[in-house]
Amino acid sequence: MTRTLLREEVYSRLLDAIVDGTFAPGEQLRDTDLAHWLGVSRTPVREALLRLGEAGLVRSAPGRSTHVAHLDPDVVRDAQAVVSAMHRLAVAEAVSRLTADDLAEMREANDRFAAALLLGDVDAALRADDDFHAVPVRASGNRAVEKVLAQFGPVVRRLERLRFTSQAGRASIDLHQRLLDLCAVADAEGAAQVSFETWQTLRPMLDDATRADSPEGRNC
């Protein structure tokens, strides 16, 4: 049984709090406060914050302060482009390895996604979407892709939680179905392209983001 380190637990909790909005964009994070809140010393908190900083979820001014990153449209757009490219790569590498069970798992996740949209349950919809896309990522066996997605995925998810629309969701159902169909006939290039397009459905959310959260222009 692998050992769970405090810095991993702290990282997960801080990540969740940032993505779900418990920590608001711009909110100051003091590592001494977080240490007290989590009941640990500063070191695991510092280590977790460093990782969050690498993903762009927090911004630190050395020796000064740390803040939850604003939803800077440039930052999110950059992360979204990286996430799209990683999923396309994963799909291209996975298509020849996907089993019937994998495809069934993707169908089931897409069905859950559609059902969640009907209920207006954003959290369930995003979980189903995660489950859907996780299948080819896992099948690709590319650990570097997994690491990049673990790092930049939350940056994109954070926007989705705030800007999710049923309209974009419904477009995703169809794209998910096309992706499934192309995987089923082992069309790696077609599937990779559709995977990329699936993640382009986020672009309208990014355009909306320029009218939210950072009224004084961009952080530099």
Partner DNA sequence: GGACGCCGGACTGTTGACACTCAAACCCTT
Partner DNA sequence: AAGGGTTTGAGTGTCAACAGTCCGGCGTCC
Contact segment (CB under 8 A) with a copy of itself among 21-29, 136-144, 176-184, 207-215 equals 136-144
d(CA 176, CA 71): 27
Number of residues that bind a copy of itself (CB under 8 A): 32
Q: Are 86 and 149 in contact (CB under 8 A)?
A: yes
Q: Is 130 left (phi over 0), alpha (psi -120 to 50) or beta?
A: alpha
Using rule CB under 8 A, residue 189 touches a copy of itself: no
Using rule CB under 8 A, residue 220 touches a copy of itself: no
Q: Residue from 10, 34, 58, 75 that binds a copy of itself (CB under 8 A)?
A: 75
Contact segment (CB under 7 A) with DNA among 35-43, 171-179, 187-195, 210-218 equals 35-43
Q: How far is the CB of 154 from a copy of itself (least distance, A)?
A: 12
Please choose which of DNA, a copy of itself, none residue 32 contacts, taking the beta carbon within 5 to 8 angstroms, the exact cut-off set by kind.
DNA
d(CA 59, CA 61): 7
Instruction: Name the phi and psi angles at 41, rounded to 5.
Output: -85, 180
Q: Take residue 68 and report the two structure tokens written for it.
A: 């939850």
Taking alpha carbons only, the member of 88, 116, 80 closest to residue 204 is 80
Using rule CB under 7 A, residue 178 touches DNA: no
Taking alpha carbons only, the member of 140, 156, 124, 127 closest to residue 191 is 140
Please choose which of a copy of itself, DNA, none residue 29 contacts, taking the beta carbon within 5 to 8 angstroms, the exact cut-off set by kind.
DNA
Give residues in contact with DNA (CB under 7 A).
Answer: 3, 5-7, 28-32, 35, 40-44, 46-47, 60-66
